[in-house]
Amino acid sequence: MIQDYLILSIILFSLGILGVISRRNVFTVFMSIELMLNAANLAFIALSRLHESMDGHVLAMMVMAVAAAEAALALAVVILLHKHKGKLDTNVFSLLRG
């Protein structure tokens, strides 16, 4: 049974990765990262059940908190980006290169 959870989790995680490397919109990218974190959360909860310990749950909570903090920051970044260039395409922001 546990394998199923893990496989699902890894599928979600991989989807997140794909999103990060394929999408250019900042929002989508951050959503993909959220997806990856949620994949981890899924694994935490499942494994916590497996081991019958609460560590996994705690971790999941922590991850959620961190995700929220990062999301807050991400929103700030989005605003800044929009302010500077009016666009949210990550490719636009490639002044620093070479």
Partner 1 sequence: MENTATYLGLIPLLPLAGALVTGLLHMLTCRRKPLPELFYGVVGCIGPLLAFFFALVLFFHLKGMPAEERFLSHIPYTWFAVGDLRVDMGFLADPLSSLMLLFVTFIGSLIHIYSIGYMAGDENFGKFFSYLNLFLGSMLILVLGNGPVVMFVGWEGVGLCSYLLISFYSKERENVLAGNKAFIVNRIGDFGFVLGVSLLFWAIGAGGFDYLALQANAGSLTPGVGIAVCLLLFLGACGKSAQIPLYVWLPDAMAGPTPVSALIHAATMVTAGVYMVARFSFLYVQFPVAGSVVAWVGILTALLAAIFGLFQRDIKKILAYSTVSQLGYMFAGVGVAAYSAGIFHVFTHAFFKALLFLGAGAVIYALHHQQDIWKMGGLKEKMPKTYWTMLIGALALAGCPPLSGFFSKDEILFSALAHGHIGIWLVGVVVAALTAYYTFRMIFVVFHGQPRDQHAWEQAKDAPAVMTWPLLILAFGAFFVGFLNLPGLFGGGLRVSHWLAPSLVESHPHVGLGVELLAVFAGVAAFVVGITLAYRKFGKGATEPEYRGFARFAYHKFYVDELYNALFVQPYKAFGGVISRILEPKVTDLPVRLSTWLYRWAGNAFKVLQVGYVRVYALYMVIGLSLMSLILSQSIN
Partner 2 sequence: MHDFLTILPLLIIVFGAVVLMLLAAFEKVSLTTAAGISMGFFAAAFAAQLLAGCGPQRLVFEEIFNGMLVAGNFTMVAALVIFACGFFSTTSSHTYFQVNRFDGLEFYSLLLFAAAGMVLLTMAAELITAFIALEVMSLAIYVLVGYDRNRVTATEALLKYLMLGAFAGAFFAMGTALLYGAAGSTHFTAIATVAASEAGSPLLLGGAFLLFVALLFKVAAFPFHAWVIDVYDGAAAPVTGFMATALKAAVFTLFANILAIHGALHQGWVEILFYLAVFTMFAGNLIAIGQNSLKRMLAASGIVHTGYLLVGLVAISADTFTGAVIGYYLAAYAAGTLGIFAALSYLGGEGEKRATFADFRGLARVRPYSAAAITIFLLSMAGIPPTAGFMGKFYIITSAIEAGQIALAVLAVVSSILSMWYYLRLIVAMYFQPAEETFATTGSPWAGVGTIALAVSVFAIGLYPIIV
Question: Which positions touch partner 2 (CB under 8 A)?
Answer: 2, 6, 9, 13, 16, 20, 26, 29-30, 33, 36-37, 39-41, 43-44, 46-48, 50-51, 53, 55-56, 58-59, 62-63, 66, 69-70, 73-74, 77, 80-81, 84-85, 90, 93-98
The span of 36-44, 49-57, 67-75, 86-94 binding partner 1 (CB under 8 A) equals 86-94
Which of 15, 20, 59, 88 forms a contact with partner 1 (CB under 8 A)?
20
Phi-psi region of 52 (alpha: psi -120 to 50; beta: other; left: phi over 0): left
> Would the CA dihedral through 6, 66, 91, 78 be positive or negative?
positive
The span of 23-31, 34-42, 52-60, 72-80 binding partner 1 (CB under 8 A) equals 23-31
- Give me the least distance between CB of 45 and partner 2, in Å please: 9
- Let me know: does 44 contact 56? Beta carbons within 8 Å: yes
